Amino acid sequence: MRVSLVAAVCFLAVLTGSSCRDIRIHEHKDWGKYFEDNGIKNACFILRDNNHEAIHYYNKERSLQRFTPASTFKIFNSLVALETALAPDEQFIIRWDSIKTSRDACNKDMTMREAFRESCVNYYREIARRIGKAQMQHYLDTVKYGNMQIGNAVDSFWLNNTMQISADEQVGFVKRLYFNELPFAERTQRIVRSMMLWEDQPGYKLYYKTGQGEVDGKYIYWIVGFTERIEKVKEPKGSMNKSNERMYPYFFAENFELPVSDTSKDWAKVRLDILRQLLKEANAIPR
């Protein structure tokens, strides 16, 4: 995606109704150490601090480059399934077709919530087939999700590199999801957000979806989501907030690539470890 970061930030500004001059942009070259210390050369991270209208990033060029979304597309797929009532709720069960996958956790009847948490491709490929190409294309176009391309395979376009999206676009997407600004019902967005919640701690909540897609002999690793940092405050008399707590949202996307042959580390764990380090650096979760 050959646009400047400023242009991308201006796009996000339009979504929030703020002007480009109100948004602060910060490059953090030093954040590269978290990737480099693990032998990762091609990586990016972008974070939006909503409270301060600030964008923080590492590797501008890669943050704007589109890649296969892999399993991060389960966020979008779930939204469409719920909105069209194909799935009445997150407890919607799809029966296992008895075709074994490489992951035992996915070889059974599953609810949407279970399939989302286990990141079961077989469940979501069936969801996409039931949604159908016409409806899926309608929502891709309406949301303007990535390059909006399906190609000929409605059950694998987010896996076979037809569909592509940038880290910058992922951040804009989850920000709209957080504020119920996507063209889906509030209930639909609320359910999907609940499926993304992995950690609920006294000082923060962490929501995300991971993804891992193979392209040209490389794995593309993703984590996309948001945090809510919880701060204790003394609300003024008459405030509508009676909890004396405020939640400050931060929206993020992490992306890196490695050869498929590189099994030197547990990259799924490394991916999450790097995310935690970056979120702490950005003050998005407590140190």
Catalytic residues: 71
Distance CA 191, CA 172 (A): 19
Give just the sign of the alpha carbon dihedral 188, 142, 163, 181.
negative
Provide the angle, in degrees to the nearest 10, between the axes of the packed helices 133-143 and 121-131. 100
Using CA atoms, how far apart are residues 209 and 200, in angstroms rounded to an integer?
A: 15
| Distance (Å, whole) CA 286 – CA 166 | 27
Q: Which DSSP helix (H) or strand (E) runs through 26?
A: strand 24-27
Give SS3 for 209.
strand
Among candidates 67, 66, 72, which has minimal Cα distance to 210? 72
Judge contact between 212 and 189, C-beta under 8 A.
no
- C-beta of residue 213 within 8 angstroms of C-beta of residue 73: no
Secondary structure letter of residue 90 according to DSSP: T
Question: Considering all CA atoms of the chain, what is the largest pairwise distance in Å, rounded to the nearest integer?
Answer: 61
The answer to whether residues 160 and 121 touch, using CB atoms and an 8 Å cutoff, is no
**Is-contact 150 136, C-beta < 8 A?**
yes
